Amino acid sequence: MDPKKKAITAAVVGTALGVGGLAVVAMPATAGAAPALPAVSAESLVQSVLTAKPGAFDGTVSVSNNLGLPSLGSAIPGAGALNVDSAHVFSDGAGKSKLALAQGSSQETIIHDGTTVWDYNSKNNTATKTTIPAGVAAKPGAGVDAGKMSDPAGAATELLAKVRESSTVSVDGTATVADRPAYELVLTPKPAERTLLREIRVAVDSQTRMPLRVSVLSNGTTTPALELAFSDIEFTPQAASEFAFTPPQGAKVTEKTAEVGEQAKAEAQQVRHDLKVVGDGWDTVVTGKLPAGSLTPKQTSGSAEGRGVDPQKLLSRVAKPVNGTWGSGYLVTTKVGTAVLTDDGRFAAGAVPAQVLYEALGTK
């Protein structure tokens, strides 16, 4: 996945800081009384969400980003995707997906039909066609699963699976989301959890059990950090044409095959070897080490002026210098999480106070 897709995933799903990367607040309340629905236990509702198979659908996702991330300008490719205005998600219920991301007057469209991924950007009229070989496509997690990773259903299901055991779970009435009656499922961290988050709220469709809205509130503020919710949705079969793409007239098309080179494989294996999860639930911290050379200044691809990106200088702009028994480095703080990158390339991130990160860096 290229930097653009990583930025989109971070923006829409909030996985950049693991469980804590997502902080969402409910959309404005729908006028009228809350819908009357049969009583359901919290555990039963959680189980039904984790096993739900809603089938084909298409819906518009509203995204409001107030994470408090520092302004990166154009220094990092794809950083602008963190300001995505909305997304339209299509799914055939069997693996094919389409995602249309709106950002101002431009739109990016990502279509995954199981064997091919198209990525089209209307702003510069460019398209990338990635062919996924059969051996790669058969592997779990291969390709760009845009549908799953860019809607409230995928985000909520992942969060529920990770934090349910360390949460107090309850059903807090009902609501109407995207003109559909839904249960309000609430997960609150248990007292022993050291986290910046206060609660996760998931509006669950009463019929399909598909999450229609996911909301995570941070401590010390009532201001939305990120809003992710369906504003409208239709559970209907999708035409095959939705998952087919023909580049517009004059579009510049780049074709490639989803293959991983030996060097990339070696780097990925090293990253996995160094990656460690400290703690669990709400105060999970992910630690690891960047590949060698990651902090070395690099030339910006396609830059007419030959300008490059210096990670160290960028860090000095958006983060504050910190040090301790674990070493020295830079700390990035948002409303919903923190991340530290040491001068020797180690990192730690989570929805936790900085002190928890420092402790995790010192864990053997």
> Three-state SS for 361?
helix
Please, which pLDDT band fits residue 357 given cuts at 50, 70 and 90? very high
Domain boundaries along the sequence of the chain: 3-30+39-253, 260-361
- Say what the pLDDT of residue 269 is: 58
Structure tokens at 187: 């997960």
pLDDT of residue 13: 31
Contact 214, 57 (CB under 8 A): no
Measured CA to CA, the distance from residue 113 to residue 94 in angstroms comes to 10
In tens, the pLDDT along 321-351 reads 999 999 999 998 887 889 999 988 899 999 8
Asked if pLDDT for residue 276 goes beyond 60, the answer is yes
Coil, strand, or helix at residue 161? helix
Which has the minimum average pLDDT: 26-30, 67-71, 311-315?
26-30
User: So what's the pLDDT on residue 263?
Assistant: 55
Distance between CA atoms of residues 218 and 201, nearest Å: 12
Averaged pLDDT for residues 353-357: 95
Q: 3-30+39-253: CATH homologous superfamily?
A: Lipoprotein localisation LolA/LolB/LppX (2.50.20.10)
Among 202, 103, 81, CA closest to 153: 202
- How big is the chain by its Cα radius of gyration, in Å? 21
Residue 2 has pLDDT above 70, yes or no: no
* Confidence (pLDDT) at 105: 84
Kindly state the helix (H) or strand (E) to which residue 169 belongs, with its residue range.
Answer: strand 167-177
> What is the reported pLDDT for 90?
93
CA distance 178 to 188: 25
Residues 212 and 204: beta-carbon distance below 8 Å: yes
pTM of the model: 0.73
What is the tens place of the pLDDT at every residue in 95-106? Answer: 899 989 888 888
Q: What is the Cα–Cα distance from 360 to 309, expressed in whole angstroms? A: 29
CA distance 230 to 86: 10
Structure tokens at 92: 């055939």
| Mean pLDDT confidence for 304-333 | 79
